[in-house]
């Protein structure tokens, strides 16, 4: 008896295809399998619109690289076509130079990594004079990540960055878990609202508020940021964690505590994006454990308008390029003609 010969019948109105396997025997036997639709129409991936809108900020595509994982972009120029990215978020800057936390500053963990860098950077003046001229010529949106210990720090940074050539938007890092005072604004709704409002009043640039998952109700903080005038919400920052050397009976990180990132936190990030996207009217930018096109599509259907690639840049520097190559086909697979067609389309389980 030879192999079963498949016979395709016309696609049903609900998009499903019926496959009949005709087994050559007397009398003929039929095995009918119903396959789910791969694509609900004839969308050509070449015609899919990749541009997205985050409040007043428009990006050519939804794939950005996260602050703290991409240096100041120059370090990645030999591996990544920087102009293809939707946005680049350079390393977070503060008003004054910071030496960062004592070493060790990072440690690999199961499914991710812990870091306690402490926002070491050369300060605002050095960034404007030496970093921004290069970044401004890359041909993509530069979203500058800023952090401060006080509301006045954030406002001063925003005021001085407003008008600097090449800056497309600001991301307010109110959520770094390994800097003294750095997480306070992201855990208190009133403080978060005041910081965002102060920055919004001080400059004309679009404002993204980057939130921490280390709270009881992240949607509450997101609503406060929206009320303060945020154009979009970025989440999540890292999850507070630690690593222990039990033989020496001491913490491995010099700062004891650090921020967990990588694939291990993706379920937490998806949950946060899902909750926040349903709690606010402004767009959401998803962050946390994103490394593949499947990860990106999960975040989009859960409610993210755009995403940031973070820890994956360390172990797979070309992850963003691989994702961009695959994105049009993945969107077309869902019958989408634009990114917006799939954002927040996840169906509720009954």
Cβ–Cβ < 8 Å for 145, 109 = no
Q: Which residues have C-beta within 8 Å of that of residue 130, sequence separation ≥ 6?
A: 122
Who's near 160: CB < 8 A, 6+ residues apart? 124, 128
DSSP helix/strand/coil, 134: helix
188's tokens:
């208190």
Do residues 140 and 87 make contact, with C-beta atoms less than 8 angstroms apart?
yes
CA angle 77, 80, 83 (to 5 degrees): 85
Cβ pair 328, 44 in contact under 8 A: no
The label of the residue with tokens 């859960």 reads: 302
- Say which DSSP state 179 is in: S
Q: Which positions ≥6 away from 350 have C-beta within 8 Å?
A: none
Distance CA 288, CA 66 (A): 10
Peptide bond into 104 cis (omega under 30): yes
Is the separation of the CB atoms in 145 and 179 below 8 Å? no
CB-CB neighbours of 303 under 10 Å: 23
* Angle in degrees, 0-180, between the axes of helices 151-161 and 189-202, rounded to the nearest 10: 20
- C-alpha–C-alpha distance, residues 171 and 145, integer Å: 5
- Rounded distance between C-alpha atoms, residue 313 and residue 19, angstroms: 42
What SS3 class is residue 138?
Answer: coil
d(CA 270, CA 53): 20
Catalytic residue from among 176, 192, 203, 239: 176
Catalytic site residue 203?
A: no
3-state secondary structure of 144: strand
Active-site residue set: 176
């Amino acid at each position: 008896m030879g192999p079963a010969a498949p016979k395709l019948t016309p696609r049903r109105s609900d998009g499903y295809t019926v496959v009949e396997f005709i087994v050559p025997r007397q009398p003929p036997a039929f095995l009918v399998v119903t396959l789910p639709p791969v694509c609900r129409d004839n969308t050509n991936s070449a015609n899919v619109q990749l541009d997205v809108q985050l409040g007043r900020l428009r990006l050519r595509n939804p794939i950005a690289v996260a602050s703290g994982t991409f240096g100041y972009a120059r370090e990645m120029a030999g591996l990544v076509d920087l102009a293809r990215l939707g946005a680049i978020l350079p390393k977070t800057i503060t008003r004054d130079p910071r030496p960062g936390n004592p070493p060790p500053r990072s440690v690999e963990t199961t499914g991710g990594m812990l870091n306690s860098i402490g926002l070491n950077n050369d300060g605002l003046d050095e960034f404007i004079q030496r970093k921004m001229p290069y970044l401004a010529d890359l041909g993509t949106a530069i979203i500058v990540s800023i952090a401060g210990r006080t509301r006045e720090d954030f406002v001063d940074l925003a005021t001085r960055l407003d008008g600097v050539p090449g800056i497309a938007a600001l991301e307010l890092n109110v959520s770094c878990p390994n800097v003294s005072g750095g997480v306070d604004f992201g855990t208190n709704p009133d403080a978060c609202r005041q910081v965002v409002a102060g920055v919004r009043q001080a400059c004309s640039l679009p404002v993204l508020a980057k939130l921490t998952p280390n709270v009881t109700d992240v949607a509450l903080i997101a609503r406060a940021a929206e009320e303060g005038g945020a154009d979009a919400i970025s989440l999540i920052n890292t999850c507070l964690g630690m690593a222990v050397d039990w033989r020496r009976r001491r913490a491995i990180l010099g700062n004891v505590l650090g921020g967990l990132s990588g694939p291990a936190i993706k379920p937490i990030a998806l949950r946060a994006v899902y909750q926040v996207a349903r709690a606010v009217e402004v767009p959401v930018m998803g962050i946390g454990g994103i490394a593949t096109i499947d990860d990106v599509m999960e975040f989009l259907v859960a409610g993210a308008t755009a995403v940031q690639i973070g820890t994956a840049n360390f172990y797979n520097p070309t992850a963003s390029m691989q994702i961009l190559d695959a994105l049009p086909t993945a969107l077309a697979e869902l019958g989408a003609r634009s990114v917006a067609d799939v954002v927040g389309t996840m169906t509720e389980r009954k």
